[in-house]
Amino acid sequence: MVRSTLLDNGLKVLVQEEHTAPLASVWCWYKVGSKDERPGLTGVSHWVEHMNFKGTANIPRDQVKGIIEQFGGSWNGYTWIDETTYFETATRDALDRMLFIEAERMASCLYHPDDCESERSVIISELQGGENDPDQLLDQELTATAFKAHPYRHPTIGWLSDLQTMTRDDLYGYYRRHYVPNNATLVIVGDVDTDAALRRVDHYFGGIAPGESPARIRTVEPEQTGERRLAIRREGTTAYLKIGYHAPSATEPHFASLLVLDAVLTGAKGVNLWSSFRVPPPQRSATLYRALVETGLASSVSGSLMPTAQPFLFTLSATVTDGTPLDAVGTAMLDTINRVRREGITDAELAKAKAQLRARLVFDNDSVTNIAHQLGYFETIDSVDLFSALPARIAEVTVEAAAAAAEAVLKPSNRTVGWFEPTPVGVGS
């Protein structure tokens, strides 16, 4: 069972004992992601994440490396639209060290100007690496087209011009505003004693002063009034199709129903952003798979619906089989989606989707790292209670609820259709 505690400075702490392996995982989450960025500073959340691995007041730059490795541990972090997070997983005797690192990261990072400058080119290299992948490029452009007001529209990596012009002061100011205990959640899962762990948390974090609560964005994406379309025509070898629908946030009633619909259309993925997509979904009998892959129109299909703080996108994607006319794939995909919207799903499909989701939620939590991720992720977008309630919400979905979600979400005026249409490589360049 997870124990939830709030320190006086506002830091939320979640501890769950898991004694199956002599390991502990510590994640520190911040309620700041790319949706909190204003024009001119897109990508700042992610760049700040990179800077927070470059030494602190009490961890010299050249001693960052090795501090967790000496315990055989791994560490990393990521930034997405709602959150920035850091973790270490190592043998349980490293718990103190992990808490020390995260406390230092919260309060005492250095932001040396030379490091900021050097990281600029690393991040631009990361952006360019992403652009090498046409599917990723299409995803970025589709999202930017689907949203016209809400900051979910810009990519987490940021726009190139902002990355070229951002200053050290921009980065440091952003760090100081958002990295305060009252904007964070610390999660500990593993072979630990909860009371002892909480005492060490208080030791390391108790003295960090709270800050002003960061301002939250107020923009609500207006309802989409008609289908949007985009086509990227670039040199390449393969065509890709993506259809994005504005989707409910994780707290809205339709969210669980839409998870079921996604499972029916493309197979269940689970809801762990860190691990769910590493194992392909069970999808051979899924509706879109049968309509596109089994017919030879597409070589793959996928669906993406993640829990988010505010309404984001439910995206369906297909890779067009070599030599297939694009229109045939587009028509088959939209016909299939429209049929599900018109006819709903059957009792048998509902039962299978629920069985898949039940299994995937088990697989989502197969390690201390993954369990800790899930607790922190949900607490950051809303509340850890949302995580514990999800299996029951899925179990309660009925064919009528799924039909209502399909009716509301899968309507043509709510969608953006994006193509990557390859032009012959080397012609006219």
Which residues inside 311-330 make contact with another protein, applying CB under 8 A?
319-322
Query: Which helix (H) or strand (E) is 360 found in, with range?
Result: helix 347-363
Contact residue for another protein among 6, 57, 58, 117 (CB under 8 A) = 117
Query: Which helix (H) or strand (E) is 178 found in, with range?
Result: helix 168-178
Given the rule CB under 8 A, which of 3-11, 113-121, 223-231, 302-310 is the region that contacts another protein? Answer: 113-121
- Confirm or reject binding of residue 193 to another protein (CB under 8 A): no
- Positive or negative CA dihedral for 409, 412, 413, 419? positive
- 168 neighbors 116 (Cβ within 8 angstroms): yes
Contact residue for another protein among 155, 244, 267, 311 (CB under 8 A) = 267
End-to-end CA distance of the chain: 60
Under rule CB under 8 A, which residues in 357-386 are in contact with another protein? Answer: 357-360, 362-363, 365-368
Give the span between the Cα atoms of 330 and 223, in whole angstroms. 24
CB of 29 to another protein, least distance (A): 21
Under rule CB under 8 A, which residues in 25-54 are in contact with another protein? Answer: none
Given the rule CB under 8 A, which of 128-136, 164-172, 192-200, 375-383 is the region that contacts another protein? Answer: 128-136
Sheet with 2-6, strands from edge to edge, namely 2-6, 12-17, 184-190, 23-30, 84-91, 74-79
Looking at the Cβ atoms of 31 and 354, the one nearer to another protein is 354
CB of 20 to another protein, least distance (A): 5
Looking at the Cβ atoms of 87 and 152, the one nearer to another protein is 87
For residue 154, report the phi and psi dihedrals to the nearest 5 degrees. -95, 150
Q: Whose structure tokens read 């990393």?
A: 76
Looking at the Cβ atoms of 5 and 136, the one nearer to another protein is 136
- 179 neighbors 79 (Cβ within 8 angstroms): no
Looking at the Cβ atoms of 317 and 416, the one nearer to another protein is 317
Binding footprint of another protein, residue count (CB under 8 A): 75
For residue 54, report the phi and psi dihedrals to the nearest 5 degrees. -115, 40
Please return the burial class of 393, using the count of CB atoms within 10 Å of its CB with bins 0-12, 13-18 and 19+: middle
Looking at the Cβ atoms of 69 and 396, the one nearer to another protein is 69
Binding mask 389-418 for another protein (x = CB under 8 A): ------------------------------
Pairing relation of β-strands 228-235 and 415-423? Answer: parallel
Looking at the Cβ atoms of 282 and 391, the one nearer to another protein is 282
Orientation of helix 95-107 relative to helix 194-205, angle to 10°: 30
Please return the burial class of 413, using the count of CB atoms within 10 Å of its CB with bins 0-12, 13-18 and 19+: exposed
- Confirm or reject binding of residue 23 to another protein (CB under 8 A): yes
Looking at the Cβ atoms of 134 and 418, the one nearer to another protein is 134
Under rule CB under 8 A, which residues in 270-289 are in contact with another protein? Answer: 279-286
Given the rule CB under 8 A, which of 201-209, 251-259, 349-357, 402-410 is the region that contacts another protein? Answer: 349-357
CB of 263 to another protein, least distance (A): 9
Give the span between the Cα atoms of 371 and 378, in whole angstroms. 11
- 297 neighbors 329 (Cβ within 8 angstroms): yes
Report the SS3 class of residue 312. Answer: coil
CB of 281 to another protein, least distance (A): 6
- 418 neighbors 326 (Cβ within 8 angstroms): no
CB of 398 to another protein, least distance (A): 19
Nearest one of 227, 261, 260 to 243, comparing CA atoms = 227
Under rule CB under 8 A, which residues in 218-247 are in contact with another protein? Answer: 234-238
CB of 188 to another protein, least distance (A): 16
Pairing relation of β-strands 228-235 and 184-190? Answer: unpaired
Contact residue for another protein among 6, 40, 57, 72 (CB under 8 A) = 72
- Confirm or reject binding of residue 206 to another protein (CB under 8 A): no
Given the rule CB under 8 A, which of 16-24, 205-213, 327-335, 394-402 is the region that contacts another protein? Answer: 16-24
Looking at the Cβ atoms of 156 and 380, the one nearer to another protein is 156
CB of 216 to another protein, least distance (A): 31
With vertex at residue 133, the alpha carbon angle to CA 129 and CA 138, rounded to the nearest 5 degrees, is 120
Given the rule CB under 8 A, which of 62-70, 142-150, 252-260, 399-407 is the region that contacts another protein? Answer: 62-70
